[in-house]
Structure 1
Amino acid sequence: MGNRLSKIYTRTGDDGTTGLGDGSRTRKDSARVNAYGTVDEANSAIGLLLACELPEDVRDLLTAIQHQLFDLGGELCIPGHAAIVDDDIARLEAHLDHHNADLPALKDFILPGGGEAAARCHLARTIVRRAERETVTLSCTEAVRPQAVRYLNRLSDLLFVLARVLARASGHGEVLWRHERRAR
């Protein structure tokens, strides 16, 4: 087990820097901190989704994803560390295929909504997309393993599909974008 915190505040970040997992310090607004901070935010959004009533298989999947996001945050916080592997991405793809199999083909854009759980899932999806963008930004200046970006890309796709599943399961249905809504 890693270090245990007996005191939550250290005052070491009062100068606008934070410690990375390798012991080095960086600015709190660095691309690295933005990337792993947004991964943490995505994990929190999934926690908010888990506070809803969910099908057990979706709950189990999201809980496993939370653990992987924590691992990914660690990978991004420790330069050179590897935590996400190709098998993690393959598992996301298998869940994507499984949950998408019974959904009708998309003919319209879907708006975030469709009941509380689906809306929370859409929120988590958009935060994961931001985490992906932040990780790509980090990769422009520092080494980032491609698995990190691929994992976030697949996860946002999976959350989109899960939002569709949850909207249908709740009875609210999906909220379709009506492009013809304006009088012409």
Structure 2
Amino acid sequence: MVRLDVITTRGGDAGETSLGDGTRLRKDSLRIEAIGTVDETNAVLGLLRLHTAGDAEADAILARIQNDLFDLGADLCVPGEAGGRLRLAAAQTARLEAEAAALNALVPPLTSFVLPGGTPGAAAAHLARTVARRAERVTVALAAAEPVNPEAIRYLNRLSDLLFILSRRLNGNGAGDVLWAPGATR
């Protein structure tokens, strides 16, 4: 159970913050950058959910992903193999992959790359996708420097795929996709 009585602690006033195991890190460290970018991804998903109110399935998927992203943040905030700590599980990535496959079965194959846009929901899904990709890049950089649960990288990779497919669903199952026309503005 989480209990937060005090939000303003002044503990970060010198540019450091605490991890879940009590370790203090500079706020510009790769680990804090990864945690923060996962948090940013979650915030963008909250905005995306404003555009899925009429799509109960998509909203439920995004609600579950938001909880998964908190699990991922908890995983990243305790480095190493701390026994008993919350870790992102392979089952969470597998569920994400299965949901992406089910959504993808509803949209026609692409004949061109898709530009971000179309409906407000699709545009928001593209924004969420790009932030998830950044979270993945930062987590990959962190993993090159210190131990990270490999499932974190797999999950973020699948998440960006799902968000791309969701953008197509929110564009009328691909009917409203804005397609790239190579060289059209020369």
Identity %: 52
Residue correspondence of structure 1 range 74-113 to structure 2 within 5 A: 74-80=74-80, 81-113=85-117
Following superposition, the deviation at residue 51 of structure 1 comes to 1.4
Match of 2:62 in 1: 62
Match of 2:176 in 1: 173
Q: Which runs of 5+ in 2 are unaligned?
A: none
Residue correspondence of structure 1 range 3-14 to structure 2 within 5 A: 4-14=3-13
Match of 1:44 in 2: 43
Letter in 1 for 2:130: T
Task: Say which SS state the counterpart of residue 12 (structure 2) adopts.
Answer: helix
Task: Say which SS state the counterpart of residue 58 (structure 2) adopts.
Answer: helix
Letter in 2 for 1:71: D
Deviates more, 1:30-39 or 1:73-82: 73-82
TM-score, with length taken from structure 1: 0.94
Match of 1:137 in 2: 141
Task: Say which SS state the counterpart of residue 184 (structure 2) adopts.
Answer: coil
8 Å CA contact 2:132–2:156 kept in 1: the answer is: yes
Letter in 2 for 1:129: R
Q: Which runs of 5+ in 1 are unaligned?
A: none
Q: How far apart are the structure 1 equivalents of 2:185 and 2:144?
A: 41
Following superposition, the deviation at residue 103 of structure 1 comes to 1.2
Task: Say which SS state the counterpart of residue 28 (structure 2) adopts.
Answer: coil
Query: Of 106, 110, 127, which aligns to 1:123?
Result: 127
Following superposition, the deviation at residue 180 of structure 1 comes to 3.1
8 Å CA contact 1:118–1:164 kept in 2: the answer is: yes
8 Å CA contact 2:87–2:149 kept in 1: the answer is: no
Following superposition, the deviation at residue 8 of structure 1 comes to 1.4
TM-score, with length taken from structure 2: 0.93
How many residue pairs get aligned? The number is 181
Following superposition, the deviation at residue 159 of structure 1 comes to 0.4
Provide closer, same or farther for how the CA distance between residues 172 and 48 of structure 1 changes in structure 2, counting only shifts above 3 A.
Answer: farther
Task: Say which SS state the counterpart of residue 10 (structure 1) adopts.
Answer: coil
Task: Say which SS state the counterpart of residue 14 (structure 1) adopts.
Answer: coil
Task: Kindly indicate which of the two structures has a greater share of residues assigned to helix.
Answer: 1
Following superposition, the deviation at residue 122 of structure 1 comes to 0.6
Letter in 2 for 1:62: L
Task: Say which SS state the counterpart of residue 11 (structure 1) adopts.
Answer: coil
